[in-house]
Amino acid sequence: MKLGCIADDLTGATDLALMLAREGLRTTQTIGVPRSDLDLSGSDAIVVALKSRTIPPQDAVDQSLAAAAALRKAGAQHLFFKYCSTFDSTDEGNIGPVTESLLRFANSEFTLACPAFPANGRTVYKGHLFVNGVPLHESSMKDHPLTPMRDSNLVRVLQRQTKLSVGLVPYEDVDPGPDALRAAFGRQKAAGHQIVIVDALTDDHLRTIGLAAADFPLITGGSGVAMGLPAAYRQGTTYAPVSLGTGFDFPAGRSIILAGSCSSATRRQVETAIKAGLPAYRLDPLDLASRKVTAEMVLEWLARQHASGPILIYSSAPPEEVQAVQSKLGRMKAGEIVENTLAQIARALPALGVTRIVVAGGETSGAVVNALGVEALAIGPEIDPGVPWTRSLGGTDLALALKSGNFGNPDFFLKAWTMLR
């Protein structure tokens, strides 16, 4: 097995698995550290999905190291640490502490960090992260419920999270190609840096990074930086994007959308779905906290819906509402209440005949998929950049689309279903 990947959330893991599969690596995604008897043979890449983005740093380190050990045991030659293309983290971590521990695990003293994903509007220039052309700290990420991003200078952001020295490889050293980039890595190492933020504005830059970093024991970044790795592993041979739709069948059954993401893209998708007439139930965290509304009540409502199309259950709310809720319940508590409720609802879905599920939000997807007891996923066709349909492996047969909060076009909740046979 060539590449063992550790993703800090579930939607991020599917995003990375899709990238690797599309570029030609046989890729399997596991939910959590795989059981030692799970058959992963025949995979060129395994992506372990953790839910470690916002847990205490030491827990994130411990879980990431357990995943790394399992991947190494399964034969992984290189490791990849996947985090969000908007670098979601706090001054405590977890990107810095996990990178440090994985570097030690991999017996390495140098790696890169690059969240760029141009197809989804994420670019890094002079170390500053832009989201659709807007600096990170001015984008909607400044109001994220769990990891508000208030600084777009990634060298500064990462340096606050680690004792390792963080350097920068600017655009001028990436644009000319892999040789120039390798030379820049050498200079950064000689200057004493152990993690370097690397600029990338285009897919060509990402492919250059893939070629220049393919022999690193550890690479860190968004899914974009994995784009060039499969070709590099095939030693520069040209590639044809793989069609992931063929031969991918989905279980028959009812369809549901569970949205716990408050990101602007998800809120637009919720709005579009409601305007299109989808039956929708809005969860209010304060009602959940006071038990005015419970998961059982939502399930009763769901059982009364007889529409043949998808049904939407959402807690997505604009920043001012999220802040008002958080000031009453606390940031983490508010998130937990919503996640637990959606998890409880998810657990009951197979018995209601629901087998096709779209989930919006990484933390939310983690809660839902854990509740459903899914162990591993096969990667299917891409709905929008970074979001594939997947099918559960083992256990209840489910079609799952795990959508990163800020990914997908406004009609995502309507069009996703058209790809299911």
Residues lying near ligand ATP in the complex (CB under 6 A): 9, 11, 84, 144-146, 260-263, 266, 285, 315, 317, 322, 325-326, 334-335, 338-339, 361-364, 404-406
Total Cβ atoms within 10 A of residue 330: 12
Q: Which does 85 bind (CB under 5 to 8 A by kind): ligand ATP, ligand LCNOYBR7, none?
A: ligand LCNOYBR7
d(CA 198, CA 115): 9
User: Does 89 contact ligand LCNOYBR7 by CB under 6 A?
Assistant: no
Please name the residues in contact with 419: beta carbons below 8 A apart, sequence gap of 6 or more. 245, 381, 383, 389
* Whether the Cβ atoms of residue 404 and residue 15 lie closer than 8 Å to each other: yes
Q: Shortest Cβ distance from residue 190 to ligand LCNOYBR7 (Å)? A: 31
Measured from the CB atom, is 87 or 185 closer to ligand LCNOYBR7? Answer: 87
SS3 333: helix
Q: What is the DSSP letter of 406?
A: T
Give the contacts of 259 (CB within 8 A, at least 6 positions apart). Answer: 266, 269, 270, 312, 313, 314, 315, 316, 359, 360, 361, 364, 413
- Residue 90 interacts, among ligand LCNOYBR7, ligand ATP, none and using kind-specific CB cut-offs from 5 to 8 Å, with none
Residue 29 lies near ligand LCNOYBR7 (rule: CB under 6 A): no
Interface pattern 339-378 for ligand LCNOYBR7 (x via CB under 6 A): -----------------------x----------------
* Residue of 192, 196, 125 lying closest to 167 (CA atoms): 196
Cis peptide upstream of residue 94 (ω within 30 degrees of 0): yes
Site string for ligand LCNOYBR7, 169-208 (x = CB under 6 A): ----------------------------------------
Cβ closer to ligand ATP: 108 or 326?
Answer: 326
Q: How far is the CB of 14 from ligand LCNOYBR7 (least distance, A)?
A: 8
Does 123 bind ligand LCNOYBR7 (CB under 6 A)? Our answer is no
> Which of the listed partners (ligand LCNOYBR7, ligand ATP, none) does 127 bind, with a CB threshold of 5 to 8 Å by partner kind?
none
Interaction of residue 384 with ligand LCNOYBR7, rule CB under 6 A: no
Q: Which residue is nearest to ligand LCNOYBR7 (CB)?
A: 12
CB-based closest residue to ligand ATP: 405
DSSP E strand stretches across 69-225: 78-82, 111-114, 122-125, 128-131, 134-135, 166-169, 195-198, 218-221
d(CA 41, CA 62): 25
214 to each of 61, 66, 111, 196, 347, how far by Cα in Å? Answer: 24, 23, 11, 15, 41
- Choose between 252 and 332: whose C-beta lies nearer to ligand ATP: 332
Q: Does 84 bind ligand LCNOYBR7 (CB under 6 A)?
A: yes
Candidates 43-51, 81-89, 284-292, 369-377: pick the segment binding ligand LCNOYBR7 (CB under 6 A). Answer: 81-89
Query: Which amino acid type is present at position 2?
Result: K
Nearer to ligand LCNOYBR7, 85 or 99 (CB): 85
Closest residue by Cα to residue 280 from 306, 314, 235, 246? 314
Which of positions 9-28 make contact with ligand LCNOYBR7 (CB under 6 A)? Answer: 9, 11-12, 15
Q: What are phi and psi of 131, to 5 degrees?
A: -120, 110
Give how far Cα 42 sits from Cα of 39, 80, 246, Å: 9, 19, 19
200 within 8 A of 209, measured Cβ to Cβ: yes
Phi first, then psi: give them for residue 23, nearest 5 degrees.
Answer: -85, 5
Q: Which of 4, 57, 167, 222 is close enough to bind ligand LCNOYBR7 by CB under 6 A?
A: 222
Give yes or no for residue 167 binding ligand LCNOYBR7 (CB under 6 A).
no
Q: Residues in the site for ligand LCNOYBR7, rule: CB under 6 A?
A: 9, 11-12, 15, 84-86, 222-223, 362, 386, 404
